[in-house]
Structures are given as C-alpha cells and as structure tokens.
Chains A and B, each alone.
Chain A
Amino acid sequence: MGKHVLLIEDEPNIIEAIRFILSRDGWRVDTHADGSTAYDRVSAIRPDIVILDVMLPGRSGFDILRDIRADTGLNGLPVLMLTAKGQVKDREMAERIGASRFMAKPFSNTEVLASVRELTGT
C-alpha cells in the first residue's frame, strides 16, 4: 500500500492542518475543494485513501461517495468521511453508502492520523 491521500475539503485552514499532519507522516497529500469535480479527481489520480468532507460546494460528499462506490475501478478504496454534522442519521447514511469510517468535526489530529493509517494498513 502506497502513501498517497486525496483530501476533499473546502475549508483552507483545515486543509492546511491535515496536510501538515499527514505530510510529516510521509504521505503525499493532494487536495481538492470543489464537490462537483471531486469524483473526476479521484478517478484521475487514484489515491490510496480519500478524506472526504460531507458539505462541499457544488456537490455533497455523500453523492461523491456514491459515485466512488459505483466505480468498479475504485473497488476497495478507503474513504474517511468528515462532517460538521455529527448526527446519527448522517453517520448511518455514511455507513449505508459505503464510508470506511465517519468522523465528526471537530476531530483531533491524532484521530485523523490513526484512522488513515488503520484504513490503509500502513
């Protein structure tokens, strides 16, 4: 398993913090802030793991995840979902459509790093 992560998030300072944490752990971090073109980016770069925010401009993270799971070429791609909505229904929705893990904001850096490592077996 490689160490390439695609972070799909539109909040610049969250992007910066996660990029720093993962980079220090040896990850190559690509970022994408637009929901409407996020799936195309995933398909194009085929990362080892996707960190996906739910509320994005253009398209919701749930819709992007549905597309990812419908793409047989992306079988087994771990997707860690982040959301400011920590409600049970959002968690259930994320699990139903195939999120590998669901994390409510505000999360801790340690949790994010541990989840990325666990989901990729690194």
Chain B
Amino acid sequence: MPRSALTGTRIRERRTVLGLRQADLARRAGISPSYLNLIEHNRRRIGGRLLVELARHLGVEASVLTEGAGAALIETLREAAAVQEGGEAEIERIEEFAGRFPGWAALLAARHRRVRELERTVEMLTDRMTHDPFLSASLHEVISTVTAIRSTAAILAETEDIDPDWQRRFHRNLSDDSRRLAEGAQSLVAYLDEGAEDPGTQSSPQEEVEAFLKARDYHLPELEAARPADPADLVAAAGELTSAPARELLLGLLARYRRDAERMPLEPFAEAARAEGFDPGRLAARFGVDPAAAFRRLAALPGGLAGGPVGLVICDGSGTLTFRKPVEGFALPRFGAACPLWPLYQALARPMAPLRAVVEPGGPMRLRFLTYALCQPALAGGFDGPQVLEAAMLILPADTIAIPDGQAQPIGTSCRICPRRTCVARREPSILADGF
C-alpha cells in the first residue's frame, strides 16, 4: 500500500486521539462529514490547503500525516516478522501498523534489534565457553574452591563442639582456599579484561594476529609499494602483539602477503579482478600464480577497489581455521570446528579439485554468498616428505558480485550454534534447539 494512501488513516487516528468527532473536525476544516469520512478511509486523495487545514486542527505538521514510517523502520519490522517462526504477523499491513502506531512500531523494532544483538552475544560467548579451555578450567577451579570454602566455613560456623585439631585444619584450609580463590579470580578478570572491548579477542596468538589485520582492514599499503617494507620491520613495530608466537605467525603472513603483492600488483590486479568477475581461477592464470594466491589477493583488496567486501577462510589439513576474514552475514566460529558442509571442507577432501558453490548460511535475511574453494598440498619436505594440505575458501557477498541463481547449499557456522535441526552433517546438538 503506498504511503500516501495512509494519510486518511493517520488523520482518523489523530482525530480519535484528540477525542474529536468526525463532524466537528469536518466543520472546522470547512468540509462535509461524509467527505471527511471518505478521506479517513483512504478513499479520497488529499493534499494542498485542505491537508494543511486538517493538520492545523489536529495540532500536527502536515508532513506527519503524509509521511509514512521510515524505510528502515519498515525493514526492521519485516525482519522481526520473518524471524518469528510460526508467527502470524500481518505483513501486508506492516506500513499501516507503523503509520498508525509509530511509538509501538519503533519499540518493536528496537526490541528486535536488541534481541539480534543479544543473540550474537550469546552465540559468541557460548562458542567461547564451549571451546575456550582456559576459561573452562579457570571457572572449574573457581567453583571447586568456592565449594570447599562454603563447606568448610559452614562446618566452622555450625559445629559447636569441633575438635581443636580439626578446627586448626579447617582454618588452614580456609586460608589456603581463600588465597586460591583470589588468585583464580584475578587471573580470570585479567583474562576477560583483555577481551573487554570485543570479548573473545586476543586469547590466542592467532587472535592477536587477526586483531592486527582487522585494525588495518586486511590491507597493508606498506607492502604494496614499489619498494615494499620488510615484514620483520612491520612486526617489530606492531606493539599490539604481546606474544612471541603471535609475532611469528604475523611474520609468516606478511611475508606471504608481500610475495602475493609483488606477483599481483594492486592496481592491475584490481582492474583484472573486476574484468574477470572476481573469478580466482582466471586471475591465477592471468598472473601466473596458484589460485590460492589469487584468493588471498582478492581478500587483501581495499573495499574501494574491490567494490564490496571479500571474505576468506583458510584451514590446514586438520580442518583448523588458520586465517579468518569475515564478511557480514557469514559468521566464522572463533573457537572449534566450523560447519562441515562449508565448501572449504569439501575442497579439503578433494585436493586440487576446484569448487565453486552458492551457499546460504541461514538466518532471517536468507543471505546468499558465492564461494570458491580449493585445497592444495605444500611439498616443503619434498615428494617423499609429508604432504601438508591447506584449503582456502573465498566468500563473495551479493554486495560485491551478482550471485548466480539456483539452489544454494544450506550451511551454518558450527553445529553448536546452528538452528538447522535436521542437518545430515550435524555432529552435536545445537543450543538453538527451539530456533532461538
């Protein structure tokens, strides 16, 4: 329903709120009650002086009567309706709802946004609680110590005829446990403080490196120059990296970045990427590099040159994610294994077989992504040495490239936070059993 068609509805709403009779308003505006009735039921268009006159008598600006709710509000309400499984919201009357009850509509939209935020927080914290061994062990230690203190303190408080030897022993236990608890709590607080701004960050060298790259939007102009910087200098200057393993990891990544940049210079590569429709196979052929290098180079393009976001994940032969550059709508797990249906893992099972697939990670917006995946062996130990596999998956959202039509492969983030109950690849139950 066009927004202008709802002007009459808004007039009626406003009049009712003011307690005005239709006849009274009609009289004040100089029109007949029957004509006002037709306007209020959106059966007559209204504008010009009459609209201004009615607005004046209703004590509002004319624009309040003509302008519907904002597009963003409508969109949020649509999303709220879509996400509610089994809901019976009248989608076709969504504008009418927002127009007639702007306060309630805004409240509903705000609640929906808040629920989405909390869902993301729960997913992240659950992921962390489930897979973060330090946190799990620390909490277990704290709870065990609290239990010992509680039991011991209760014995001392409630046992009147306690033997002096037992009493001394319990006092000593209390003292020891109190100290342990204080140390455990301090350690926990220090650990959580590290990730206070973005819970989950910097608990591992890999996360330190990811924070470094994220802060630079995964693009390093220093390594793009005609005379690129020495990666070791960049690592030395990266004061935010607190651990030696993180610095070592970053050094390896930056060295590879510089090699990629030398083989695929930024401007020509960006131009070629657009010309080839972001196809990493064609780009690899054009620049004489392996496809995985083209994946990495596409993911390192700045947003202005890529035309949109480009995501990338890389895993080793065990399936462990060793590099994560997320894109909006395609969540990557921080800890533990990802969804086994990701093309990344299908590529891992078939080394050197390129894979191109449209996937749908789920969620209310039903976003689709075009992915390219490939697994390649590294033969650093020679042909007789162990074959070390590395798979990569490029993730292109609709903002960056037109997603081909056709059926998309349903995927998730990881089983634990995936609501697809009947998934054939499920390895453990989801905490989102009720479609949370």
A109 touches B154 (CB 8 A): yes
How distant is the Cα of A13 from the Cα of B176 in the complex, in angstroms? 9
Option from B143, B152, B166 in Cβ contact (under 8 Å) with A84: B143
Chain B residues, CB < 8 A from A55: 140
Chain A residues, CB < 8 A from B146: 105-106
Closest A residue to B139 by beta carbon equals A84
Assuming the contacts A13-B173, A20-B166, asked whether A84 and B147 have C-beta atoms less than 8 A apart, the reply is yes
From residue 24 to 61 of chain A, which have CB atoms closer than 8 A to chain B? 24, 55
How distant is the Cα of A55 from the Cα of B137 in the complex, in angstroms? 10
Chain A residues, CB < 8 A from B169: 16
Option from B143, B151, B176 in Cβ contact (under 8 Å) with A21: B151
Could you give, for residues 89-122 of chain A, a 1 whenever the CB lies within 8 Å of some chain B CB and a 0 otherwise? Answer: 0000000000000000111111000000000000
Instruction: Please give the distance in Å from A89's CB to the nearest CB on chain B.
Output: 8
Option from B154, B170, B173 in Cβ contact (under 8 Å) with A108: B154
Closest B residue to A53 by beta carbon equals B144
How distant is the Cα of A108 from the Cα of B154 in the complex, in angstroms? 8
Option from A14, A84, A85 in Cβ contact (under 8 Å) with B151: A14
Instruction: Please give the distance in Å from B155's CB to the nearest CB on chain A.
Output: 6
Assuming the contacts A17-B152, A20-B166, A84-B140, asked whether A105 and B173 have C-beta atoms less than 8 A apart, the reply is no
A14 touches B143 (CB 8 A): no
Chain A residues, CB < 8 A from B173: 13, 16-17
From residue 155 to 178 of chain B, which have CB atoms closer than 8 A to chain A? 155, 158-159, 166, 169-170, 173, 176-177
Q: How large is the interface on A (under 10, 10 to 19, 20 to 34, 35 or more residues)?
A: 10 to 19
B155 touches A105 (CB 8 A): no
How distant is the Cα of A105 from the Cα of B142 in the complex, in angstroms? 10
Assuming the contacts A14-B144, A17-B155, A20-B166, asked whether A106 and B139 have C-beta atoms less than 8 A apart, the reply is no
Chain A residues, CB < 8 A from B155: 17, 20-21, 109
Assuming the contacts A13-B176, A84-B139, asked whether A108 and B144 have C-beta atoms less than 8 A apart, the reply is no
Instruction: Please give the distance in Å from B164's CB to the nearest CB on chain A.
Output: 14
Chain A residues, CB < 8 A from B232: none
- B45 at interface, CB cutoff 8 A: no
Instruction: Please give the distance in Å from B55's CB to the nearest CB on chain A.
Output: 57
Closest A residue to B143 by beta carbon equals A84
- B148 at interface, CB cutoff 8 A: yes
Option from B140, B143, B170 in Cβ contact (under 8 Å) with A106: B143
Closest A residue to B159 by beta carbon equals A24
How distant is the Cα of A17 from the Cα of B154 in the complex, in angstroms? 9
Grouping DSSP codes into helix (H, G, I), strand (E, B) and loop, the B interface class, with mixed when no group exceeds half, is: helix
Chain B residues, CB < 8 A from A16: 152, 169-170, 173
- B3 at interface, CB cutoff 8 A: no
How distant is the Cα of A14 from the Cα of B148 in the complex, in angstroms? 5
Chain A residues, CB < 8 A from B143: 84, 105-106
How distant is the Cα of A17 from the Cα of B147 in the complex, in angstroms? 10
Closest A residue to B158 by beta carbon equals A109
- B150 at interface, CB cutoff 8 A: yes
- A18 at interface, CB cutoff 8 A: yes
Assuming the contacts A21-B155, A105-B143, A105-B144, asked whether A13 and B177 have C-beta atoms less than 8 A apart, the reply is yes
How distant is the Cα of A20 from the Cα of B159 in the complex, in angstroms? 11
Instruction: Please give the distance in Å from A12's CB to the nearest CB on chain B.
Output: 8
Could you give, for residues 55-94 of chain A, a 1 whenever the CB lies within 8 Å of some chain B CB and a 0 otherwise? Answer: 1000000000000000000000000000011000000000
Chain B residues, CB < 8 A from A11: 144, 147-148
How distant is the Cα of A17 from the Cα of B152 in the complex, in angstroms? 6
Closest A residue to B169 by beta carbon equals A16
How distant is the Cα of A18 from the Cα of B170 in the complex, in angstroms? 12
Chain A residues, CB < 8 A from B144: 11, 14, 84, 105
Chain B residues, CB < 8 A from A110: 154
Closest B residue to A107 by beta carbon equals B147
Closest A residue to B174 by beta carbon equals A13
Chain A residues, CB < 8 A from B147: 11, 14, 84, 105-107
How distant is the Cα of A14 from the Cα of B144 in the complex, in angstroms? 8
Chain B residues, CB < 8 A from A24: 159
Chain A residues, CB < 8 A from B166: 20
Instruction: Please give the distance in Å from B221's CB to the nearest CB on chain A.
Output: 48
Chain B residues, CB < 8 A from A109: 151, 154-155, 158
Residue among B155, B158, B170, B176 facing the most chain A CB atoms (10 A cut-off): B155
Chain B residues, CB < 8 A from A20: 155, 166, 170
Could you give, for residues 72-102 of chain B, a 1 whenever the CB lies within 8 Å of some chain A CB and a 0 otherwise? Answer: 0000000000000000000000000000000
Chain B residues, CB < 8 A from A14: 144, 147-148, 151
Known: A14-B147, A84-B140, A109-B151. 4 other contacts (CB 8 A): A16-B169, A17-B155, A105-B147, A108-B150
Q: What are 26 A-B pairs at a CB distance below 8 A?
A: A11-B144, A13-B176, A13-B177, A14-B144, A14-B147, A14-B148, A16-B152, A16-B170, A16-B173, A17-B152, A17-B155, A17-B170, A20-B155, A55-B140, A84-B140, A84-B143, A85-B140, A105-B143, A105-B144, A105-B146, A106-B150, A107-B150, A108-B150, A108-B151, A109-B151, A109-B158
Q: Which 7 A-B pairs have the closest CB atoms?
A: A17-B151, A13-B148, A84-B143, A106-B147, A105-B147, A13-B173, A106-B150
